[in-house]
Amino acid sequence: MDKNLKRMATMHRMQMTGLELFYRQGYYNTSIDDILKSLDLSKGAFYYHFQSKEEFFISIVQNLVFRKVYSMLIEPVEGKNNPLHAIEVCLDDALETAEHNHMDFGFVLANFMNEFNGRNPEIMKYLTDICKVWEVNLVTALQRGKTDGFVERHIDSEGVAAYIISSYFGIRTLMVGGNRKMMRYHYIQQLRNYFRSLSPVVIA
């Protein structure tokens, strides 16, 4: 058991370091030697755990990237009464975290999707699956919001979900080279205005 725990701890350390390198430099600009140097590992030790750089990256996507996206953008919306308010708060919190991250290179999922699109269909499938889980969560929340009276019944939930995801991808990319605080403020203000148009009109 101790041996298994040690192996799991080693793999987790490798994945955490690998994610940091891939996020900062990109997958194709990061070599096995870069990974080994950062981890102070031999090639034999690396290949004991993973057969290739691709397998290593897939393990990172499955274990770390999915967990990061789920905890940051999916879990905070699940089970909330007013989905529009929950989504707004969730995105604002995520953008606030990015705003104060001085080593920000953009949204990790979006970065990897851009890098692998048209270059590696297998890895791309793992990344798009994460995006689909996020989309399904948003659609489910919006549909529940219709039933509970927080969202207009005629609203296209799939269309709104696609807009939310694509707009978040975009603002995170723009924040990398711009005034992050101002961009976050403007984005949330416009998102709030958009969400008001999706809510039922209350007549006093």
Does the pLDDT of residue 3 top 90, yes or no? no
Note the pTM of the prediction, 2 decimals.
Answer: 0.93
Which residue range(s) make up the domain with 91?
52-198
Which candidate, 78, 204, 202, places its Cα nearest to that of 150?
202
- The mean of the pLDDT values for the chain is 95
Number of domains in the chain: 1
DSSP state of 27: S
Quick one: average pLDDT of 171-194?
Answer: 96
Per-residue pLDDT at 4:
84
Quick one: average pLDDT of 147-173?
Answer: 97
Q: Please check whether residue 12 lies inside any domain of the structure.
A: no
Angstrom distance (rounded) from CA 85 to CA 107:
22
Q: How many CA atoms lie within 13 A of 10 on its CB side?
A: 15
The set of residues, in sequence order, having a beta carbon less than 8 Å from that of 87 and lying 6+ positions away, is 77, 138, 141, 164, 195
Neighbours of 17 (CB within 10 A): 17
Report the percent of the chain where pLDDT is more than 70.
98
Does the pLDDT of residue 1 top 60, yes or no? no
Please report, in angstroms and rounded to a whole number, the separation of the first and last CA atoms in the chain: 65
Which candidate, 64, 54, 170, 60, places its Cα nearest to that of 111?
170
Cα 101 from chain centre: 15
Tens digits of per-residue pLDDT, 56-86? 999 999 999 999 999 999 999 999 999 999 9
Neighbours of 153 (CB within 10 A): 9
- Kindly report the CATH number assigned to the domain that includes residue 154: 1.10.357.10
Q: Please check whether residue 61 lies inside any domain of the structure.
A: yes
Tens digits of per-residue pLDDT, 94-111? 999 999 998 899 999 999
Per-residue pLDDT at 201:
66
Which candidate, 107, 27, 158, places its Cα nearest to that of 35?
27
